[in-house]
Structure 1
Amino acid sequence: MISKVEESSLLDRGGRPTLRDMLSQIVYDPAHGHISLRNARLVLNRASIAVQLQEELVRRFGPHEARVILLRLGFLAGTEDAKFIRAAWPDLDMGDAFTAGTRLHTMTGVVRVQTVYNDFDFKQNKFAAEFLWHGGMEATESLNRHRNVSEPVCWMQVGYASGYASYFFDKLIVYKETECAAMGHKHCRVTGRTADAWGADDPMVRIFRQEVVPSLAELPHKTGLLKTAFHAPPRNAAKPAEDASLEDVVLAPVHNRLDVIAARGLPALILGPRGAGKHLAAKYLHHRRHGIGGRLRRIVCGSITSEQIDDRLRKVKQLRETWLLENIETLPEECQLLLAERIENQDLPQGLQLTGSSIRRMSELIAMPALRQDFLFGLAVLPVELASLQDRRGDIPDIARAVLAAIVESGSSPQHRLSRAALDALAVMDIPGNLPQLRSILQVAAFNTETDGGMRRPREIQPKHFPCDLVAAPPRPADTHVPGIMDLLAAGSLTIDELNQQIYAEALRRSNGRMSAAARLIGVTRPQFVYRAREFKSHAIARNTT
């Protein structure tokens, strides 16, 4: 039991903000139904909800998935609170800001934290800690519901502690609950270490790296230099922001599928023409599965033997590695058999992400006699197909901006921007070499703007700056189309308006519903396109009602 004197001293113990500081700044605003701390809204909930949520998740998804979900929610809450502390008390010493997490957790009624040891050094990037948790919400409510548990249950709190510490160290910190009051212990005991200190093969580290925080690049970075999936919009095919990375715009159509493959630890097969971004997809998959560490190894399938593969598999062990098997159709049959058996028996090393690639379509690969079906379909659980720039004309302006930004960031060119006319020209340009050719075109165009007595300064790229020798004119439609269209017109089965309507509809389809891109594709302005599209729609409605 804690005496009144000890209870009072707790309010002023530790660095700033103390518990007393926090409590003095809670504002209850009944007129608006708000409770806030330094303008951050708080909500009072019954503690039993936490255990009811845990039980419901276990019933619906099983104990492992439920644990991962609550660890991730806790991790998110921890990083959010870490950001809040830094923003609400910006003048705090870094050490005080870091230890404020224990006081904030106590103030909000989640748990009373008692420090056993808390050794950290921000300059040397070292961390090790152990705490006792008294009256923890998850453990106490579990006892109140008379649950018989044989393992720790404070999943959300463990995630919270890990997320809070990870924010301050810009690296993954993993906490483990070694004692739990719900199991009959006097209190809960948690120990925190860096993921590297626990070791790559540690079961809890693997859960955090592979399922809770799939990529270390997603750790919320206090300087804002690293992106975080927790604060980014959901992956979808919507138009990327103008400052989106090359990875974002090129892989936007397949991000969700790559995320599922990484989260489930599946082998992968990435298809697409040369230069469409297959290596970029493999790199993204590697980072989602293993974080920013590990190694992405490119393997030319036509020049490797089964003995070499066997040897490399032995060396992988618990390392974090991704193999990109390039042009899987050229892989010798004995190698295919070896890998097919490993995949089927789930006998691949824990740290290996096996990824194949090919420039051929799935239907072509299936028809190849030299390619074993068990190997092909072992990789192609969720095949990922990337389109050429020719088939993504509506996305070319966004991709071009991202490529140019990457060129500038690499230091090979000063700041430049693409004019509207240049973007329009690129949208209709034939670029069979895909990303490598587009990069070369933009590099030369940027160089061509840097005149003015040799002084390099930011310039706007115009169509005239594009290199003629690197740009192929878009192919003209075959003349054989004209007689066919004329025959349809003569037979009365196609009118000029219907032909135009089909052209507009096809342009809209190829541009993924984006009016501006569709207008550029057929050489009209956006207002003209919108007007004509509406006109066609009204005519179609009129025909259907007569």
Structure 2
Amino acid sequence: MEKKIPCHRRGTDVPALKLVAATVDDAALAEHLRFDPDRGEILLFDQRMLLMHGYSLATLRHELIERLGLDKTRELFMRLGYQQGVEDSKGLRRQGGAGVPEAMKLGPRLREIEGFVRNRVVERMQYDTESGGFWGDYHWQHSWEAETHLQHFGISGVPACWMMAGYACGYTTAMMGRPVIWREIECVAMGHACCRVIGQPVEECDDADDLLSFMRVEEFVTVPRHREPDEQGRGKAPAGSALPDLVGASAGFNAVAWRLKRVAQTDATVLFTGESGVGKERFARALHAIGPRASKPFVSINCAALPQELVEAELFGVERGAFTGASTSRPGRFERADGGTLLLDEIGSLPMLAQGKLLRVLQEGEIERVGGTQMRKLDVRVVAAANHNLREEVRAGRFREDLFFRLNVFPIDIPPLRDRRDDIPLLVNVFLNRYARRFNKHITGVTRAASEALWAYSWPGNVRELENMVERAIILADDGAGIDVQHLFSGGEVLPGRPFESAARSAEPSPPAADTADEALLLERLLRRAGSLDAVETLLLQHALDTCRGNASAAARMLKLGRGQFEYRWRKRRPSGG
């Protein structure tokens, strides 16, 4: 009979999932930890670590609470912990290829080794990689955060293990491929005997919005309390409901969010840069939604989509009779955006003549319609976006230097998705819920194999490509089932070492392995030449380095090692640094 386990705060039962034992072999972690005092480095999974005084971090935490308040500091520390959890998960993926059962044991033990807490399972952690089901119930003992908070502030009315909760969220989310939230329901800082946390998929949490606040800039989804007018001034849904996928916990996302919040309350011109598909228009809409012009129109125009002969008419408007076909006067995008925000997307595509007229409008704050004689004073905040390096365009003579400097008042560069992979599970969850509702389907989650494939993919189309792939996957997946690799990668996308052109192609068998007798003969010859296993390793390292022309990172990838591992082994063989 299938065992039932309680779903915290929801009053329902869920099917039993695979159980994760609590024991772990420390040697599996120790081999990835390197101390190199001569270089002043400590490496864990090739990531540099810092052994620092807990007292200093506790003092910083105290000062931040005094200056920023409890809520802001909580979000900051949870986000910091989340990023640490994702990095540890990535490290295990890269170095050991740990499966979910092993990884779910190693994660809690890693945090113990890092000195934050002692984990004790109340009910063993349970999961299902196919459906994304998850349940965890832990006691935390000797929590550094709880003891620090108690020492500085006395008994608290709220849980205080923020960095630990963020770490658990980040680690588990990265491993499961869907957002998993850990919330502290008992805490030593509140007077309990120990700290206790419950982990569940975000959809099963009644208070998910509050718990997810550290994963996004809250104004993006809550600020507008009015109805934002569209280009014709009509009311539409609040911007909060229109921007649900601006979520992220990566350093890249939060750097963009911070700059966006700093400039939002001003009238400064903003230039968004980044590859196609990173979400420049969506960030521009968020900028408008959290600024003082939120109740006024937001108008956007894609400059690359305009025929050259119609650019000026579209931007500045046209008077009746100005040219053949102009039977009526009509306002341009600048006039429609009066009082609000105008986004000039792909601004690098503007012809030189239009660039000159745009510069004058930006300097004078007034426009003249095509075929007209009247100057019209306007109050428009201009936001531009470019997916090409405008400095390079200036050097090539394709973009006016004076216009570039006028636009480049406050540049915000949005990193590509491959540089903020930490955000993929959060974005997938947003898109999955959106399209499952649209297509009236129940999707149980994303399989482990699909999650690994999403992590490994290079994302040339960035967030737009991810959204399209999730939409396609939900169409292909069966109702009541999960999303697997063949549902996502069926449009000709190529994963490292494996094309996924169709579901049938993805199921093709891999090429046969090399003949084992040939491998044995090769190994015998290599040992005979080198004389020892250590010498064989030295030959392999030297060969990889020579093949990659001295590029240590490329040599490490060739040998399927992390760069830190490669450098450690190379220095051990060549102590003089040859």
Q: TM-score, normalised by structure 1?
A: 0.45
Flag the structure with higher helix content. Answer: 1
Give 1 or 2 for the bigger CA radius of gyration. 1
Bigger RCO (CA 8 Å, 6+ sep): 2
TM-score (norm 2): 0.43
